[in-house]
Structures are given as C-alpha cells and as structure tokens.
Amino acid sequence: MTSLWTFFQELFRLCTPITILNILWAATFGMVVGMLPGLTATMGVALLTGLTFRFMPDQAMLILIATYVGAITGGSRSAILLNIPGTPANAASCLDGYPLARQGKAGYAIGLAATASAIGTFFGLLCLATISPLLGKIALKFTSWEFFVLAIFGVVICANLTAPKDPLKGWVAGLFGLLLSQVGQDPIQAFPRFTLGSLQLMGGFSLIPIMVGAYGVGEIVSVMRSPINYTVKTHIQRIIPALSDLLRNWKHILRSGIIGVFVGIIPGVGEDTAAWVSYDFAKRAAKKPELFGKGSIEGLIAAETGDNACIGGAIIPVLTLAVPGSAPAAVLLAAMWLHGIRPGPLLPIEQPTFIATTTAVFFLATLAVTLLSLMFVRPMVKVLEVPRSILMPIVFVLCGVGSFAINGRIFDMYLMFLFGLLGYYMRENNYPAAPLVLGFILGPMADDNFRRAMIISGGDPTPFFTRPICLILWLATILAFLSRSGLGNLFRRRLGSHA
Amino acid sequence: MATSKKLWGGSWLRRKDIYSAIGVMCIAAFFLLGTAFMPWKGVGFTWYSAPGLVPAILAFLLFLSGLLLFLRALFNRRFYARLATEETGGPPVEDDGQEVAAAKDLPPLLQSERWRVILVFALCAVYIFLLIGRLNYILATTIYMAAFIWIFKGGEWYKSLLVGLATAVAVWALFYKVFAVILP
C-alpha cells in the first residue's frame, strides 16, 4: 500500500510540462529509431545516454525509458511494411505482419501490433512494480560469493540464448567482454592492468563508446552494405484494431506477457528471444497453427506482446541486482551509474523512492508511446521514405556526439570507431554482441567480488560451492552449459547406448 | 591447392572461424602474458587477491574457447554442414523490380557490397581521425555529411552540401546551445 502511494506521489510530481515535452520527443525519437531498419533500441538508448548526461536523473531516465519502449514498439512498423524488422526484437513480427500488409491490412496490422505492444508493456510494468520489491528482498541475501556466481551465470546464459546455433561463439564474446572490463586500474589495489602505459586507459574503457560502436556503427555499415534500398509501397487504411480481436486472444496475450517478463529477467537475453519464444508457444497452442506465417493475427499479437513485456522484465534485475536483463537495459544501468544512482540490493535503502520513480516514469513512457503509436502512424511511416544515404551519416554524427559527450575525450570517439569495426566483424562472423556487452558490464562485479570473497575466506574457495544461492546458480549455469556444449548430447548418446 | 581445399573443406564459414579462432587465441595470449608481469604477492595482498588473478583465469578460458573453435573448424565438418542446412528466416522480401533496377543504375563501385562497406568505414575514419578535433565542428561535420551523401548518390553536390550544413548546424544548436552538451 505504501509502495502504491509512493508511486502515485512520484507520478504527480513528474507530471510537469517539461516532463511531458521530454517524454513526447523521446518516445517519437525512439519510435523513429525503432522503425528504421538496422537501428536498434540499444543504439537509441546508448546515443541518448551521452546526450542527456546533463539532465536531472529522473528526466534522463524518463527520456531513456521512453526511447526504449518507443523503439521496441516502433520496430514493428518496418517489419509489417517492408518485411525488415526495425529492431531484432521485431523479427518475429515479420512472419505474420508482412503477409497481413500484402493482404491490404497494413494499417490494421500496425494498429494491432501497437495495441499488443501497449498491453505487453503495461504487463511488464505491473510485474516491475510487484516483483522488484520481492526480488529486492532476496537480493539483500547476496554477498560477494553470490555476486560472483551470478556474473558467471549471466554471461553463460546470455551466450547460450543469444547464440543458439553456436553457443561457443557466445562464450567467446562473453569472455572477451569480461576481459575487456579488466583493462584499467583494478578496484582493490588500484594497480594499472593492460594499460600499455596509456593514461587514457587508466580508467578503463568507457561503456558508452563500446556500446555505440558495437551496436550503432556496426549497424550503420550493415544498413549501407546492400545496394538495394527497399521502400514502402503499401497504402495504410484502418488503424485501430477491433476490441473483439484482442478479447478473443486474451490467452495468447497473457501467455506472451508472462514469457516476456520471464525472459526479460534472465540476464542479457532480451526482447528478440522473448518475441520468438512467445511466437513459438502461441503457434503450439493455436487452433489453426497452419495460418502462422501467412498473416495470423495470433502470431503478430504474441510476438509484439512478448517483446514489449520483456522491457519491464529486463529492468527488474537492473534495479534489484544491478544485472541487466537485455542490451538496452544494460545501457540504462550504465546511465544510472552516470547519474550517481547505484542500482542493486542496497537501492531501496539508499534511495527508497527510486523504484517507484522508475515505475512512474515507465508508466508515463508507455502511455506516451501507446498514444503516439496509434495517432501518428501515417506521418511516422514517412521517415521510412528518407534515403538511408542521408539518414545514416546523421546517425553516425549523433553516435560521435554521444560517445564524446560523457568524458569530453576524442579518444572515446576513436574507441567508438574501433568497436564499430569489431561489432561489424562479429556480426559478419556470427558472434553475438550481447554477451560481449554483458561481460563488459559484469566483469568488474565478477573481479571485485571474487577477490573480496577470497580475501574474506583466506583463499578458501569452498563457500563458492557450499552456499545455497551459489549452489542454485552453479546448477543452473552447469545445466545451461551442458545443454549446449555437445557434452549433453554425448551423455544422452551414452545413456541411450546403455539402455 | 589440394591441401588447402582439404583443410578448409570448401566451407566459407569454417575458413572464417579458423581465422577468428587464431585471433581469439592471440588476444587471450596477450592478456595472459600481461598478467605474468603483474605482482602476485605484495604489501597487503597474496596470490588469491592479486590484481592479475581474475584476468589470468579469464584469459585462460578465452584461450581454451579459441582453441575449441579452432579444432572444431578444422575437424568437425558435420557441424558446419548442419549450420548451413539450418539457415532460416522470414518470408523473402518481395520487390517489384524498381529497387533492384535502381541499384543497377549505381556505379560499379557502389554495386559491390564489399566496396560499400570499405567506403562507409573509410568516410567514418576520415571524419573521426582527420576532421574532428582539427577543424571547427560544424565545418568538419558538413564536409563528412556532404561527402557521404554525394558518394552514396543521396543527391547532387549542392543538395549534399546543404543537407550536411543543415545537419551540422542543427546538431550544434540543439546539443551545444540547448542541451549544453560539449562537442568535439
């Protein structure tokens, strides 16, 4: 009851003209970024992190969350109209959204996707408000041993789920991210590690240039690569969906919402996995699964509800454990650090109203994105007609400003470019970027807590394997590892031959 | 020639994996070597709290992963055959031929994907390493934008210049003047 009261207090406090203005432009910006094929929510949020550095923390969070929600919602536009997902989270929406557009129902599909997205986001919001305080209480039991194992668990599970066909490459990316985070002065003895005598590397690599480079620059190059430029040709008519279509599919909406939130809570996995899993479950449960992929309303609703519900889910571990649930949530976490907010188990003690503030911000962002996504479909779709040869250099210029703004160092722009090269190389060679980023974020947590724990136990590693939460996390990590490593198959074959 | 065919197995991804695995092992070796030069015992700390311990473990695991990738790329042909058959995606993008025809009107250099990638990176590198910090921000951004748009056939030279200048001024006014963000 106290939490609900605090939520309303924060909501009323935030309802000012400046807030409304910020939320509207940020939601529009997010939707435009999401709509443009290749530009992702992560890139949009990373870009604005640098640019909103001088804003008040609550306004900065508001802008970033509105961009995040806007991008995931807006991505369905290009998926439906061009059959090219605006963000990876909307890839599953192509399967039924595009066939619907080909049947002359583009406007209806967009309206349906926007409504399903809104329902999904509100579901995620509800879970954020209810689960965060509960998880926060469990998180208070976490000490150095648990945090170290949690970091390992996060990287392994993220690598498994973001590289399902080749998890080895996911692990390589995760380990590389963990190693990159070790550059700079170590957190206990302040010993400079791998700095090669460079003063610029004393503080380590900054997260924003790495993320903007890996996601933003890599994406610009991917978008510009093809000589063929696809444009919108479908005419948009009716937009608002029939209420009966939504009521008829309440089971798909509820199931996808739960899946979205659950996938969101898993470290580093994110919206694309949530959308695919929701889509797959909806297909299995559908009365006419043969319609999936040919313009099924259920398929579109499931994918869009799942990916948007994931947003709320991904923010839950950010607030309670300081572990991001998705790549855009990782940037949100970095933005919180930049603004002096320290998410984690101690957050409710150090900043008692912050979870309520975030929930209120999320609520306002969802409201703005829902209204904008249903009201301005036609003018927003016009953005897809701007030639990419004009749009992409603008994006690169903004990437540069975003990378430079935080520390005011040109070195960070060089880093952004180099990580752009790396991001493109990784993309071309099927290495997922998410474990790299998650590893980079969790690296200091793993290093600091591992050594702290070893100092406390006098060099004895047994508590890592005997404490109950550690045991559960190790078990989950080992199961995830075995299920993908090929060793699992070997065991199954051996068992099969013995039987 | 026959040896290389036997080694690569004719698979493009396998060959790329061999190169990237070597790269991964080299990076891991560099970090591992770096930890060897760090203090492992000193005032107030011992081996288990040494600054090089966690990086050494991580570098070792990375080296191991790189080695596994290398061995898989060399010997596990079935894995790559399976990957090739598992390639799936959404329904193909339908075009009415207009876009493809427009692409065919481009100069030969812009029709090649490889050259397009090289051009994008080259233009961005010139902007970051040569223009920014040496020229005024608006001038540097205008030059980069105009060159990018003109080279990729986004418009005539005067249109490219105009769009470039408008973008540079807009970014400067919005971020420097309104948001008080420092610009390079």
**Nearest CA to CA, how far is B83 from chain A (Å)?**
7
Select from A84, A169, A398 the Cβ nearest to the Cβ of B93. A84
Q: What is chain B's alpha carbon radius of gyration, rounded to the nearest angstrom?
A: 25
Written as six digits, the tokens of B108 are 């030969």
What residues in B contact A293, CB-CB < 8 Å?
A: 91
Of A486, A479, A445, the closest CA to residue A471 belongs to: A479
Contacts 24+ apart (CB under 8 A), B156-162: none
Locus of tokens 């005539």: B156
Of B30, B80, B126, B123, the closest CA to residue A166 belongs to: B80
More confident residue, B176 or A414: A414
Select from A98, A230, A394 the Cβ nearest to the Cβ of B167. A394
Q: Considering only residues 141 to 200 of chain A, which have any Cβ-Cβ distance to chain B shorter than 8 Å?
A: 165-166, 168-169, 171-172, 175-176, 178-179, 182, 186, 188-189, 191, 193-194
**Can you tell me the mean pLDDT for A300-310?**
91
Rounded to whole angstroms, the Cα distance separating A344 from A321 reads 4
Locus of tokens 């609703």: A301
What sign has the CA pseudo-torsion A15, A19, A24, A30?
A: negative
Quickly state the pLDDT bin for B110 (edges 50, 70, 90).
confident
**Residue A220 scores a pLDDT above 90:** no
> Cβ of A236: how many Cβ atoms within 10 Å?
20
**Nearest CA to CA, how far is B99 from chain A (Å)?**
6
**Residue B32 scores a pLDDT above 60:** yes
- As a whole-number percent, the residues of chain A with pLDDT over 90 amount to 20
**CB-based contacts of B52, cutoff 8 Å, min separation 6:** A193, B34, B35, B36, B38, B39, B40
Does the distance separating the beta carbons of B27 and A189 come in below 8 Å?
no
**Residue A108 scores a pLDDT above 70:** yes
**Nearest CA to CA, how far is A459 from chain B (Å)?**
6
The C-alpha angle A472, A478, A484, rounded to 5 degrees, equals 140
Residue A377: exposed, middle, or buried by beta-carbon count in 10 A (0-12, 13-18, 19+)? middle
What residues in A contact B63, CB-CB < 8 Å?
A: none
pLDDT by residue (tens digit) across A375-405? Answer: 877 777 777 777 888 888 988 898 888 788 7
> Any idea which of A40-44, A309-313, B7-11, B22-26 has the lowest mean pLDDT?
B7-11
More confident residue, B19 or A219: B19
Rounded to whole angstroms, the Cα distance separating B44 from A180 reads 26
Query: In whole numbers, what is the pLDDT of chain A averaged over residues?
Result: 84
Contact A106, A236 (CB under 8 A): yes
What sign has the CA pseudo-torsion A361, A403, A265, A204?
A: negative
**Residue A86 scores a pLDDT above 80:** no
Dihedral of CA atoms A388, A392, A393, A395 in degrees, nearest 10, equals 140
Q: Phi first, then psi: what are they for A198, rounded to 5°?
A: -85, 130
The C-alpha angle A313, A85, A248, rounded to 5 degrees, equals 60
A100 touches chain B (CB under 8 A): no
pLDDT by residue (tens digit) across A316-334? Answer: 988 888 888 888 898 888 8
What residues in B contact A228, CB-CB < 8 Å?
A: 95, 99-100, 102-103
Q: Considering only residues 279 to 318 of chain A, which have any Cβ-Cβ distance to chain B shorter than 8 Å?
A: 293
Q: Alpha carbon of B134 to those of A213, A400, B170: distances in Å? A: 22, 15, 20
**Nearest CA to CA, how far is B154 from chain A (Å)?**
5
Q: Alpha carbon of A73 to those of A37, A49, A129, A318: distances in Å? A: 13, 20, 21, 21
pLDDT by residue (tens digit) across B56-95? Answer: 999 999 999 999 999 999 888 888 887 777 654 444 455 5
What residues in B contact A413, CB-CB < 8 Å?
A: 128, 132, 184
Angle between helices A433-456 and A410-428 (to 10 degrees): 110
Query: In whole numbers, what is the pLDDT of chain B averaged over residues?
Result: 83
> Any idea which of A187-191, A339-343, B100-104, B129-133 has the lowest mean pLDDT?
B100-104
Residue B101: exposed, middle, or buried by beta-carbon count in 10 A (0-12, 13-18, 19+)? exposed
Q: Alpha carbon of A78 to those of A33, A113, A385, A446: distances in Å? A: 11, 12, 11, 39
The C-alpha angle A325, A429, A416, rounded to 5 degrees, equals 65
pLDDT by residue (tens digit) across A435-449? Answer: 888 888 888 889 989
Q: Considering only residues 20 to 49 of chain A, which have any Cβ-Cβ distance to chain B shorter than 8 Å?
A: none
Select from B20, B55, B181 the Cβ nearest to the Cβ of A429. B20
Which segment, A76-85, A96-105, A162-171, A461-470, is predicted with the most confidence on average? A461-470
Q: What is chain A's alpha carbon radius of gyration, rounded to the nearest angstrom?
A: 22
More confident residue, A205 or A90: A205
**Residue A58 scores a pLDDT above 50:** yes
Tell me how many helices (H) and strands (E) chain B has: 9, 0
* Alpha carbon of residue A175 to chain centroid: 20
pLDDT of A422 reads 93
Name beta bridge partners: A192: A185
Of A176, A184, A178, the closest CA to residue A152 belongs to: A178
pLDDT of B1 reads 39
Which segment, A179-183, A387-391, B46-50, is predicted with the most confidence on average? A179-183
What residues in B contact A387, CB-CB < 8 Å?
A: 154
Rounded to whole angstroms, the Cα distance separating B165 from A132 reads 47
pLDDT of A5 reads 81
Contact A332, A293 (CB under 8 A): no
Rounded to whole angstroms, the Cα distance separating A442 from A154 reads 8
More confident residue, A7 or A1: A7
pLDDT by residue (tens digit) across A149-166? Answer: 988 888 888 787 777 788
> Cβ of A444: how many Cβ atoms within 10 Å?
18
**Residue B183 scores a pLDDT above 70:** yes
What residues in B contact A186, CB-CB < 8 Å?
A: 51
pLDDT of B90 reads 45
Give the residue ranges of DSSP H helices in A144-201: 144-162, 167-180
Rounded to whole angstroms, the Cα distance separating A452 from A426 reads 34
Ramachandran area for residue A44 (φ above 0: left; ψ -120 to 50: alpha; else beta): alpha
The amino acid present at A257, given as its one-letter code, is G
- As a whole-number percent, the residues of chain A with pLDDT over 70 amount to 93
Rounded to whole angstroms, the Cα distance separating A55 from B180 reads 9
Does the distance separating the beta carbons of B55 and A182 come in below 8 Å?
yes
Contact A172, B32 (CB under 8 A): no
**Residue A280 scores a pLDDT above 70:** yes
**Residue B4 scores a pLDDT above 50:** no
More confident residue, A350 or B33: B33
> Cβ of A108: how many Cβ atoms within 10 Å?
22
pLDDT of B2 reads 40
Quickly state the pLDDT bin for B176 (edges 50, 70, 90).
confident
**Can you tell me the mean pLDDT for A28-33?**
88
Residue A445: exposed, middle, or buried by beta-carbon count in 10 A (0-12, 13-18, 19+)? buried
**CB-based contacts of A68, cutoff 8 Å, min separation 6:** A30, A41, A44, A45, A311, A328, A329, A332, A365
> Cβ of A5: how many Cβ atoms within 10 Å?
10
pLDDT of A234 reads 62
More confident residue, A493 or A59: A59
Contact A136, A318 (CB under 8 A): no
Name beta bridge partners: B135: B132
Does the distance separating the beta carbons of B27 and A52 come in below 8 Å?
no
Contact A163, A464 (CB under 8 A): no
What residues in A contact B113, CB-CB < 8 Å?
A: 225-227
Does the distance separating the beta carbons of B100 and A228 come in below 8 Å?
yes
Q: Phi first, then psi: what are they for A271, rounded to 5°?
A: -70, -35
**Residue A231 scores a pLDDT above 70:** no
Does the distance separating the beta carbons of A168 and B72 come in below 8 Å?
yes
**Residue B180 scores a pLDDT above 90:** no
pLDDT by residue (tens digit) across A236-277? Answer: 666 777 788 888 888 889 999 999 998 888 876 778 888 888
What residues in B contact A84, CB-CB < 8 Å?
A: 93
Quickly state the pLDDT bin for B96 (edges 50, 70, 90).
low
pLDDT of B8 reads 44
Of A113, A100, A96, the closest CA to residue A31 belongs to: A113
Q: How many CA atoms lie within 13 A of A159 on its CB side?
A: 30
Give the DSSP H/E element, type plus range, for residue A192.
Answer: strand A192-193
Quickly state the pLDDT bin for A484 (edges 50, 70, 90).
low
The amino acid present at A389, given as its one-letter code, is S
Rounded to whole angstroms, the Cα distance separating A243 from A294 reads 22
**Residue A49 scores a pLDDT above 90:** no
